[in-house]
Structure formats: structure tokens, C-alpha cells
Structure 1
Amino acid sequence: MIRRPLKQVRGVLRLPLLLLIWGVFAIAMWIPAVHAVIVDDHQTSQSFFYSGIVGLTLVAFVGLSVSNRVPRYGMPGQLMTLLATFVLLPLYLAIPLQDALRNTSYLNAYFDMVSALTTTGADIFDRPGRVPDSVHLWRVLVAWLGGMFMWIAASAVLAPLSLGGFEVTTRAEPGRSDAILRESQRPDPRRKLIIVTRALAPVYAGLTLALALLLMLCGESGLVAVSHAMSIMATSGLSPIGGIQDAQAGLAGEMIMFLFLLFALSRLTFSSDTVAVGHGRLDKDPEFRSGILIILGVPMLLFLRHWLASLEVNASDDWGMALTSLWGAIFTVASFLTTNGFESAYWFSAQEWSGLETPGMILLGLAVMGGGVATTAGGVKLLRVYALYLNGLREMERLVLPSSVSGEGRGNRRLQSNGAFVAWIFFMLFALSLTLISVALSAFGIPFEQAMILAVAGLSTTGPLVEAAGQVPIELNLLDAPAKLILCFAMVLGRLETLAIIALLSPNLWRN
């Protein structure tokens, strides 16, 4: 009796991966449907409930039609599934969203779902009161599932292919690895994917639950606490109240969220199965140390600027304001470095204290650097920045002593040479993508400054930049349809990264 259910479960797991992901999101639609019933919003409940039924029905029909096929899974197919998930799945996820709101277009709904699924968090619905609470729950839930999806895909798909930042430390070429051959020799290459899911999904869910409970203990309401907890873990920056400035948790809540933002600095904060550069200790991890240095260094520079630029600003000695401004800068810097995008309630005090009217360039630079490899953060990634830093130090040393030998350890020497070369290639591809997207947006009448902010927000998956980086917030719902589609492309490209797209076009990958 026990073998039959196990056999059925194994049969379900052998279905196409995109079909399984589709089914998971179809079931997830019933969560906002139940919430809508509880808050007596039956129209919204019907939209999500019936959309979930339709989605599961399609999954069942397609699953039955392919159940007799002998599946042949491989790493290229899984990488293609990642691309199809971010492009095609939002077409289905936007249906209940558009039906529940009724006052928005399908393109806006699709844009919002792409933004949520890629954990970008670019809020096209600029007024929080416009969207019902159940719809807010759906948006943060999609972003949370998208973050967990990337956690799992980083270890099970990108790491074996030497992509997603792992190409900096590996000896193989990006998109090629000996692991491809080993995976192809197994009867089911998705076995690793299942193992990684079983290992990481409980950790991801447990951390989110712990953060939500801590926020509620600080006085936050249930929906806001859950939404902010999901947004912090997924680094999406979505909030049902438009940010954490008006949150009831206050300073204690910000401090708790700051601690959980550190999980996006390095994979070693939650797992050691994919060590970046040979170090299994967090205090020796270059990503974590670089992230902490930036989080403490940038706010300190802003703090000291109060006296360094005392001729331009009012050099007040209010130490209460000084401490609150320092904290506001620390939290906001950590938030944008991890591509979350939450602004501290004391960020305005930090701007007044430092005398910077529009610190948009600082936020843009932090978002471009991004967080750690194999986390939910986007951007260039701290490991690539560290590799370029080591290479720069080595080149300056060779200018003085051309015949010198690097004194770095074995792992760092590899970062200085091959790792830095691959990191530089990725940085150039990132800059080229940024240029092309900015030019494409400018072609549709968007001013250059706004086009640059939108391009960085999309490629770094830091949606809140559209409101925080410029002098005037950018209203996404006023953009033309082609501009919205370009931003959708930028968000997908920023989530998967350019090297992964190039790897999909490589004949060697499919030949292996």
C-alpha cells in the first residue's frame, strides 16, 4: 500500500520541470484566495481560486499526455527551464491579478508578475491603497517563491554549469563543466535538484517564518509582518504599505530585518554545500567580509561628511540626530547592496546630516555591486567585485616589481588570474547590456537619466531604485508598452545573467 503512493509521487516528479513549477504556483493561488475569504473580499477570492483550478487542470492534462514518454533530462534543459519560467510563467500569473484589480491592463499585470518573479520589486501600482490586501499577499508570495526558486537553481543548475558567479572560482569555462558529463551519466539528472530542494526549502521557509514572528513581536500587524519577511528573504522590496517607513515595528523591526539582510551577502550564512573560494568559515569568506566593509564604510563616509562639508551644511552637534542618521544610512546601504531596496525610516535624517540632497548615484552603485553568489540578490555580485579588486592590487604590484610573485593563497591567486578575467568579461557584458537598454528606453522618449535608472533597476533586480535614485520618482504605469516590455527583458536578463543566456546559445553545451 505504501509503494503505490511512492510510485505515484515519483511519476509526478518525472514530469517536465516547467510543468511542476506551474503546478506549484497554481496551488499557491489558493493562499490569497483563502485570505480574501477571511477579509470578506469574495470577488478577489474567486479570481485566484478559479485561476488555480484552471492551472492545475492544464497541468494535469499536459501531464497525462506526456506521462508515457521516457524523459531525458539534462543541465541544458534545466537552464532553458529557468528562462521559460521567467518569461512564460508570468503570462499565467498575471491572469488572476488583472481579473482581481479590473482597473489595470493585462500588460501592467504581466509586468508586475515579471517584476515579482525575478525579485525585482518594481512597483507599477504606485498607490498601496489601490491594491487589495489579498493581491498584495499574492505579489509578495510570487516574489518569495521566485527567491526560493533562485536559491535552489543556483546550487542545482548554475553551479554545475559554472554560471551565476561560480565561473569566477571554477577551472572550467562558463557554461561547461565536468559535472555535465557526470549528470548525463545518471538515470535522472534531476536527482540533484530534488536533493537541493529538500535541503534548502525548509531553511528558506524557516527563516521567513522566524522573521515574521519577530516582526509581529515588535508590534507589526500580521499581513505586513509576513509581507516584509517574505520581501527581506527574497530581496524583492515589495510592501503592502509602500515601504517600512510607516511600519509599526519601528527601530527594533529595522534592526531585526537588517540581520536577515545579511543572508543575501554570502551563501555561507545559510549553507556550506557550495563554497565560493575554498573557505568554509564565514569570517574568512571574501563576499561576506567585502559586504560588511561596504555596509560600514559607506555610512561612515556619509556620517563624516557632516563635518568635512561643514561650510556647505549646518554643522549641528545634535548627537541624537547623528545616531539616527548613522543607523538610517547603515540599513539603507545594506538594503540596496543586497538589492532589496527598503529605505530606513531614518534615511531622510541621514541625507540631512550628510548634506547630500540626492544620493541616487550611491544607491545605483550599491545595487550594481549586488550581493553574494547563490543568493536571492542581483547585481554584478560581490565575488566578482572582489576578484577585480585582487587583480587590480596585483597589477599595481607588478608595476613596481615586475618580477614579483603573488603572496596570496592558492584560491586568491586563481581569483587574480582566471577569475578576474571572467569577472571582467561579465562586467563588460553587464555594461554593454546597460548601454543597450538605456538607449532602447531613450528611443521611446524617456529622458536619459530616467532611462539609466530604469536600466540599472532592471539589470540589478532592484526595483525600488525607480523611486529612490532620482530627484523625482518614475511612474512606471505611465510608460509606453514597448518600454515596459524592454524593462521585462532587462529584469529577466538581470535575474539569469548574460553569461547564462550566452551559454544557452553555445552548441557545446547542448552537444554535451
Structure 2
Amino acid sequence: MARRGRHSIGPLRRTPLFLLIWAVFSLAMWVPAVHAHFLNDHPTAQAFFYSGILGLFVVTLVTLSSSGRVPKWGALGQLAALLASFGILPVFLALPLFEAVRTTSYLNAYFDMVSAITTTGADLFADPGRLSGPVHLWRAMVGWMGGLMMWIAASAILAPLSLGGFEVTARGEPGRAVFAAIQNEKVDPRGRLLRVTRALAPIYGMLTAIICVLLLISGERGLTAICHAMSVMATSGISPVGGVEGSTAGITGEAILFLFMFFALSRLTFSSDTVNRGYARLDKDPEFRIGLMIVFGVPLLLFLRHWVGAYDVDASADLAAGLHALWGSVFTVMSFLSTTGFESADWQQARAWSGLGTPGLILLGLAMIGGGVATTAGGVKLLRVFALYLNGLREMDRLIHPNSVSGEGAGNRRIQRDGAFIAWVFFMLFAISFAGISLILAGLGAGFEQALILSIAALTTTGPLIEVASDVPIRLVELGAPAKLVLCAAMVIGRLETLAIIALLTPALWRR
């Protein structure tokens, strides 16, 4: 039986990871093809069906041509395959979208697929009615599969290399774990990847199905329920109706989405496979606790601001409006902290009730903080923020007691000794990337505010910021081709993070 098991996964071990991912996306194209067939939308069905066949044909040819080679699997090779999946694979994924829409350019289709697979969700098509149901389904599916890739890659690829936030919790210095993973001959990266996939993919699919069923029960339309369920799990914010304000489920649907956004605050909400130090309990997890503090603390401050504004206009007696304002704030804060980007239907009412102007700076700050390490959320990540917070407390303590010795308490066991320094290095790299992309966009003709919002939205993978963070929504379709390509690169950098890109560009690591 053991020999049969090894023989059955032999082809999976020999096939390059990038080709496996390509094959999965090719097979997935037949889902919107079937949906379009039942809607009698034959041109769209043909576009997706034939594109799926083309993808499988190319994967088969490349696999057969390289079958005689002895592959040298390694952690860096898998990281490179992940980078290719985010940057190169959308060239193929854009084919059926380009053929199905027929009123857009191929560059726009490529941009939309990069936005989807990186779970950014930047909406290039401002009018949802412009796209058919199968196209909406395909965009949500690409985002959903991109989120699943990050779930799996976090444990199977990034954690062994001490990247993606794990550099804050690793015992060694930055980069030392990379050399250890490369030099350790007993490590089987492909086997680890298969084990993690078998463990996490059913959980991911089951949670998505639960959200979809609950939304259907609450009165949501079928396509909208499926797309919103996939968008929440992937934190992509992709919607066929322009967001939850176009939903038919009302506040019940928002409550369902809100509950499942908690999975983006900490990996301990669905798995403990990456815990190597400290507690594996959710109530002891610093990321989850900081996330709760932000989710309920920021809306409380906004509610007080709302209440003061309402008092100024003599509307403080309207308790119902106050509760709607509070809920709108709680949902929207959670949505942008998890980098999903859904805006509550009560958010506009909350702003009107209190007289609050465009809260773009608050939403930008929430997206920059981001969700938990090894989740589908983007941003700097809560664990790095926690490491910097602990370092700040320690520095203030040293000002008062210069000769004191810091002990490792129960709250910071997940942070290594130099974790704050590494988190600060990442924050500086994030700031440099943000400044560089903003300067490039400004040089390409974007205004200062536009460049700032576009850079943060791309690097934090929070595409809906582009529409809600400024007084005048930014129309992506009006950007030039160079600016769109710059944003594509920024979305890939934001998804993989700068430390992973630097690791791939380090020749010493490849020589090992």
C-alpha cells in the first residue's frame, strides 16, 4: 500500500509547480463555460471552454517534453513558481476574459486578472452590468483560487523560508532559515506542499460553501452569494453587484460576511500548522487580540465622532440612526482591516448622520495595517505591528529604568529577540516601495492624491480603496498603459512582499 501511495503521487512530484497551478486554472475555466452554456451565452461558453482546452494542451506538451529531466525541487524554486503564478499566469487567464467581454483591451483583461489572482480586487469595469454572469463568476473564482494559493504557500513555502511575516517569529537571523531550508537534504518541499494542500483545501472549500449557503438562506441571489462567499474567504472584494450595498440579503448578509472576515485576522482561526513558539490558543494570539481591539475600538471612536456630529445638528435622539451608524463603522473597519474592501450599506448613512467627510485616511491606515500573517489578507500584518508595539513599550521602560532586564512574557512568545528590528526593516522596505511606486505614477501623469491611493491599494492588495478613499473615485480604465503595468507589478510585490522578492533576487541563495 505504501508503494502504491508513493507511485500515485509520483507524477505530482515530478511536474513543475507552475504547470500544476496552470492546469488547475485551466480546468476551472470550464465552470464559467458550463454556466454560460446554461444561460445560452454560447460565445462566452466557447471562450472559456476552448481556453481551458488550450491551457491543458500546453501544460501536457511542456510536461511531456520535460519528463526525462531530473527536477531539483527546492523552497526557492517553489517561491519562484508562486511569483510566476501571480505575474505570468494572468497572461493566459486574460484570454477568455478578453474574448468574452469583447469591449475591452487585452491589457485591461490582464490587469483585471492580476488584480483578481493577487486578491486585490481593483475594479477596472466600473459598471457591473457591463459584464455577464459567467465573467463575474470567473473573476471571483480567480480571486478565490489566488487566496487558496496563499493559504497553502504560507505553510508550505513561506514558513520554511521565514518569509511572509514568519521572519518575526523565526529563531534565526533574517535569511538564516533560507539557507537552512536549502541545505537540509531531508526536507521534501513537494511532499510538504501536497500534505498542506490536502489538509487546507477542504477547509477552505467547506468554509466558502457555508458562507454561500447562509447567504442564500438570508435571501441573497445565487451568483451574488457564490461570488461574495469566495471574495470574503480570499479577501478580494470582488462583487457582481458593486459590493454589499447592491446585495439583497441586507444587514443579515453583512453580519454573515462580518463573522467570516475573522479568518483574515489570524491563521489560528483555521489552522495551527505554522505555530512554532508560544501559545496555539486563539485567545492568547496577539494578532487576533489586536485585530479585535481595532475592529471594535476604531468604530467606537468613530461613533463618538458621529454622536458629537449628530448632537451639533440636533439629531442625537435618533437612536436607530446611531445604531445603523455604529454597525456601518464596525463592518467597514473589519472589511478594510482584512483588506476585503466591502463597504457597508449603512456606511454612507453613518457619514451623513454625523456630518463626517470622506474618511479616506482612516481606510488607508486600516489597509496598511492589514490582517494576520499567513492569511489571505494584505498589508504590513498585525504581527509586525505587535512586534513594533512591544519594542516601543520596552524602549519607554528603559527610559524609566535604564538598567532593567526584559523578560519574555506570555504575550510576546511568538516574537523572537530581534523581531522588532526585522519588522522595522520590512516596514522601511514597504515605505520605500510605496514611495517609489508613487513617484513613478506621478511621473506618468497621476496627481499626488491619486498616486498615493493607487500605491497603497496595490501594495496592500485592497483594490476597493481606489473608489472609496477619495472624494472623486479614480477611474482605472482612464490610466495609461505604463501606469497599469506599474500597478500590476505593485500588486504582485504587495502579494508576495518585498522580502520574498529580495530572496528570489539573491544569487547566493540560488547557488546554495
The question of a shared fold, defined as TM-score above 0.5 by the shorter chain, is answered with: yes
Alpha carbons 2:162, 2:177 under 8 Å: kept: yes
TM-aligned CA deviation for residue 192 of structure 1: 0.3
Change (3 A) 1:260 1:414: closer
Query: Distance between the aligned counterparts of 1:196 and 1:239, measured in 2?
Result: 29
Mapping of residues 243-262 of structure 1, within 5 Å: 243-262=243-262
Mapping of residues 294-305 of structure 1, within 5 Å: 294-305=294-305
Structure 2: segments with no counterpart, 5+ residues: none
Query: Distance between the aligned counterparts of 1:425 and 1:188, measured in 2?
Result: 30
Alpha carbons 1:161, 1:174 under 8 Å: kept: no
- Residue 205 of structure 1 corresponds to 205
Mapping of residues 71-90 of structure 1, within 5 Å: 71-90=71-90
- Residue 278 of structure 2 corresponds to 278
Residue 473 of structure 1 aligns to a residue in which SS? coil
Partner amino acid, structure 1, of 2:371: G
1:126-156 deviation line (CA, Å, top 9, x unaligned): 1000011100000000000000000000000
1:77-132 deviation line (CA, Å, top 9, x unaligned): 01111111111100000011001111100000000000000000001011000011
Query: Distance between the aligned counterparts of 1:140 and 1:414, measured in 2?
Result: 34
TM-aligned CA deviation for residue 8 of structure 1: 5.7
Alpha carbons 1:162, 1:173 under 8 Å: kept: no
Partner amino acid, structure 2, of 1:376: T
Query: Distance between the aligned counterparts of 1:441 and 1:114, measured in 2?
Result: 18
- Residue 318 of structure 1 corresponds to 318
Change (3 A) 1:2 1:119: same
Query: Distance between the aligned counterparts of 1:416 and 1:48, measured in 2?
Result: 48
TM-score (norm 2): 0.96
1:475-494 deviation line (CA, Å, top 9, x unaligned): 00000000000100110000
TM-aligned CA deviation for residue 306 of structure 1: 3.0
Alpha carbons 2:277, 2:413 under 8 Å: kept: no
Partner amino acid, structure 1, of 2:292: I
Partner amino acid, structure 2, of 1:199: A
Change (3 A) 1:96 1:447: same
1:161-189 deviation line (CA, Å, top 9, x unaligned): 00000001112233431784477413843
Alpha carbons 2:387, 2:419 under 8 Å: kept: yes
Query: Distance between the aligned counterparts of 1:3 and 1:279, measured in 2?
Result: 38
- Residue 289 of structure 1 corresponds to 289
Residue 325 of structure 1 aligns to a residue in which SS? helix
- Residue 95 of structure 2 corresponds to 95
Number of residue equivalences = 512
Query: Distance between the aligned counterparts of 2:456 and 2:386, measured in 1?
Result: 20
- Residue 219 of structure 2 corresponds to 219
TM-aligned CA deviation for residue 411 of structure 1: 6.9
% identity of equivalent residues:
64
Indicate whether 1:355 and 2:355 are aligned: yes
- Residue 118 of structure 2 corresponds to 118
Mapping of residues 10-21 of structure 1, within 5 Å: 10-21=10-21
Indicate whether 1:421 and 2:430 are aligned: no
Residue 245 of structure 1 aligns to a residue in which SS? helix
Alpha carbons 2:169, 2:416 under 8 Å: kept: no
TM-aligned CA deviation for residue 307 of structure 1: 4.0
Partner amino acid, structure 1, of 2:97: L
Alpha carbons 2:211, 2:257 under 8 Å: kept: yes
- Residue 264 of structure 1 corresponds to 264
Indicate whether 1:393 and 2:393 are aligned: yes
Mapping of residues 408-487 of structure 1, within 5 Å: 408-409=408-409, 412=412, 415=415, 417-487=417-487
Query: Distance between the aligned counterparts of 1:187 and 1:259, measured in 2?
Result: 37
Alpha carbons 1:306, 1:315 under 8 Å: kept: no
Partner amino acid, structure 1, of 2:52: G
TM-aligned CA deviation for residue 399 of structure 1: 0.9
Query: Distance between the aligned counterparts of 1:277 and 1:3, measured in 2?
Result: 35
Change (3 A) 1:182 1:110: closer
Mapping of residues 131-146 of structure 1, within 5 Å: 131-146=131-146
TM-aligned CA deviation for residue 417 of structure 1: 4.2
Change (3 A) 1:407 1:317: farther
TM-aligned CA deviation for residue 508 of structure 1: 3.5
TM-aligned CA deviation for residue 462 of structure 1: 0.0
Query: Distance between the aligned counterparts of 2:46 and 2:100, measured in 1?
Result: 8
Provide the alpha-carbon RMSD of the alignment: 2.0
Change (3 A) 1:414 1:57: closer
**More divergent stretch after superposition (92-101 vs 276-285):** 276-285
